Amino acid sequence: MAEIKKHDTPMVDELKGGPWPSFVDDIYSYAEKHQKQACFDLMGQLELSYKHKETHWKHGGIVGVFGYGGGVIGRYSDQQEQFPAIWAFHTIRVNQPASKWYHTSALRKLCEIWDHRGSGMLNTHGSTGDLVLLGTVTEQLEPIFFDLTHQMNMDLGGSGSNLRTPSCCVGKARCEWSCLDTQALCYDLTMTYQDELHRPAFPYKFKFKISGCPNDCVAAIARADLSIIGTWIDDIRIDQEAVRAYVGGELKPNAGAHSDRDWGPFDIKKEVIDLCPTQCMHWDEKEKKLYINNKECNRCMHCINVMPEALRPGTDTGATILMGAKAPILEGAQLSTVIVPFMRLEPPYDNLKELIEKTWDFWMENGKNRERLGELIQRIGLNRFIVDILGLKPIPQHVREPRANPYVFWKEEEVEGGWDRDVAEFRKRHPA
Amino acid sequence: MPTVEYKGKTFEVDEDGFLQGGLDAWCMEWVEYVKEQEGIQELTEEHWKVIKVLQDYFKKNGVAPMVRILSKVTGYPLKKIYELFPSGPGKGACKMAGLPKPTGCV
């Protein structure tokens, strides 16, 4: 093995101090143990970037594996003579298991492959969800892909103008609020749309995210073009005995989440009733009983979050389907907007898939180059998207408030007499 | 910028193996060279149809066509394009046609 070259990194080394786990410590201790030049060179280039206050990666990079159009993010150093081990430093996205449950045997095996063929550095996980292998050279891409698929039974994640790797919250695996099996749905959608994930065919990227309840632990409403958020349509289940235990102080509000500060004894009126956004709750002090007018409840989760042992979501469950979230570029940031207020979701999820495929058909045909779904909806209008494209009925739940301006489009067939008018006819009644 | 020599010709390429000189530097030897790199056994008329469409579109519009336009004009579904060019329309076909490297969030 060639001699290892270590660089002086005084600024980077500063980040070894302090209580938080230090990525610098981690990378150096791994690099020393495995004698990885790529790690030392990466730290060297990072030091240079700290000094210059600019990146030292070149623009773009197009690499990949045969058969796929995405999954690998190509990267090259612009200081290749000084840092030859990161001349090429490609990132591989590996599709993670739903909610990121692992067995150590799988992670050990993956690490063995990565120790051997890559830099040894990982990102667990990328914000979209993938397990990210950080830094390898072009020649290793096909061998790594071979090992992943043949030894690990794992596949690449998505990148490019395609369906990106779907992700979900922990769901029913260990949360009493989950209104749907987020993991099963995430896995099903991932497997159903493998082609769309591996071979870019869209105008731009498209993301699915699935949360089991409106707490939205995977931030579906903010980070997915198609956000699936669990909810229910029957009544909140109340255990009055447990409510009294909260009021009496035997149970800690919010499962003790605020225990680090003295907020005084639990006050159900102040902390639950008065904070309910629709004011649909009532605590009867004499009866010692909690009432909820479920018809007015918007299922915001607050009361359930405060008294998890007393209140539970209903049993008639499904999800709200929202669409269009995106980051600011180009037309400004968007959160997803409600498209279907309530959809029951059971395998094989045909109702959801029909909606997805209708959306894709239209967006693929009408989306401009690099136009996210949210921008397409803005461009053509929510009404046209919901009614003409998806064939759904417009309902009040589709808007937060009605429009304030009077620039209302009508379809010609909705207006008696249509658009073809003769000005001469008009002049007969109104001479100029 | 690295260079590659192939059958007596010299090409300037970037790290990803895309032709630097663009369509002016493009020639039959380039196609032969990329063929080897991109895992293509035999160049058929179907390959050439894709290459021609890409080049014509680029000459006319100054950008590579979107995937669905390529599919529409050639009449080949995306699956077929991957059969022809295993790296796909971007890394495979555009490279062979001498078009600039795709950019953006890839």
Residue B88 Cα, gap to closest chain A Cα (Å): 5
User: Do B41 and B75 form a contact (C-beta atoms < 8 A)?
Assistant: no
Write phi, then psi, for A140 (nearest 5 degrees): -85, -10
Instruction: Enter the ipTM.
Output: 0.91
SS3 A79: coil
Alpha-carbon gap, residue A207 to B69, rounded angstroms: 22
User: Do A363 and A203 form a contact (C-beta atoms < 8 A)?
Assistant: yes
Alpha-carbon gap, residue A76 to A315, rounded angstroms: 53
Sheet containing A208-211, strands listed edge to edge, beginning at the edge strand earlier in sequence: A167-168, A208-211, A226-232, A317-323, A337-343
pLDDT digits (tens, 9 = 90+) for B39-90: 899 999 999 999 999 999 999 999 999 999 999 999 999 999 999 999 999 9
SS3 A197: helix
Q: Tell me the two tokens of residue A219.
A: 């931030």
Alpha-carbon gap, residue A21 to A27, rounded angstroms: 11
Of A246, A232, A386, residue with least CA distance to A319: A232
- Test A69 with B88 for CB contact under 8 angstroms: yes
Contacts of A202 in chain B (CB under 8 A): 67
Of A335, A293, A299, A297, residue with least CA distance to A317: A299
- Test A73 with B106 for CB contact under 8 angstroms: yes
* CA A133 to mean position of chain CA atoms: 20
Does B94 qualify as catalytic in the annotation?
A: no
Shortest CB distance from B78 goes to which of A59, A201, A203? A201
Of A116, A115, A118, A123, residue with least CA distance to A157: A123
Alpha-carbon gap, residue A216 to A348, rounded angstroms: 23
Query: To the nearest 5 percent, what fractions of chain B are helix, strand and coil?
Result: 50, 10, 40
Alpha-carbon gap, residue A159 to A90, rounded angstroms: 13
User: Do A207 and A158 form a contact (C-beta atoms < 8 A)?
Assistant: no
Does B7 or A8 have the greater pLDDT score? A8
Alpha-carbon gap, residue A232 to A234, rounded angstroms: 6
Which residue of chain B is at minimal alpha-carbon distance from A198? B88
pLDDT of B22 reads 86
The structure's pTM equals 0.95
- Test B106 with A199 for CB contact under 8 angstroms: no
Tell me the CA distances in angstroms from A193 to A162, A221, A306, B26, one per residue in order. 10, 21, 38, 37
Shortest CB distance from B91 goes to which of A62, A161, A364? A62
Query: Looking at B3, B24, B59, B105, which residue is catalytic?
Result: B105
- H or E segment and range at residue A373: helix A373-380
Which regions in chain A score pLDDT beneath 70? 1
Residue B105 Cα, gap to closest chain A Cα (Å): 6
Q: What angle do CA B13, B15, B19 make, to 5 degrees?
A: 25
Contacts of A205 in chain B (CB under 8 A): 105
Q: Is A347 left (phi over 0), alpha (psi -120 to 50) or beta?
A: beta
Of A198, A91, A191, A212, residue with least CA distance to A141: A91
- Test B86 with A67 for CB contact under 8 angstroms: yes
User: Do A62 and A74 form a contact (C-beta atoms < 8 A)?
Assistant: yes
pLDDT digits (tens, 9 = 90+) for A242-301: 999 999 999 999 999 999 999 999 999 999 999 999 999 999 999 999 999 999 999 999
Write phi, then psi, for A342 (nearest 5 degrees): -145, 125
Q: Residue A348: is the preceding peptide bond cis (ω within 30°)?
A: yes
pLDDT of B2 reads 85
Contacts of B67 in chain A (CB under 8 A): 161, 200-202
Q: What angle do CA A354, A358, A361 make, to 5 degrees?
A: 135
Q: Please, where are the H alpha helices in A60-193?
A: 104-117, 141-147, 182-192
Residue A281 identity (one-letter amino acid): M
Of A147, A133, A118, A113, residue with least CA distance to A71: A133
pLDDT of B101 reads 83
Positions of E strands within A190-313: 208-211, 226-232, 237-238, 281-284, 289-292, 311-312
Which residue of chain A is at minimal alpha-carbon distance from B78? A201
Alpha-carbon gap, residue A270 to A283, rounded angstroms: 11
Q: For chain B, first and last CA: distance in Å?
A: 22
Contacts of B88 in chain A (CB under 8 A): 64, 68-69, 199-200
Q: What is the DSSP letter of A64?
A: -
Write phi, then psi, for A292 (nearest 5 degrees): -130, 125
Alpha-carbon gap, residue A23 to B101, rounded angstroms: 33
- Test A160 with B106 for CB contact under 8 angstroms: yes
Does B104 or A351 have the greater pLDDT score? A351
pLDDT-derived band of residue B106, with 50, 70 and 90 as boundaries?
A: low
pLDDT of A14 reads 98
- Test A74 with B16 for CB contact under 8 angstroms: yes
Beta bridge partners of A338: A322
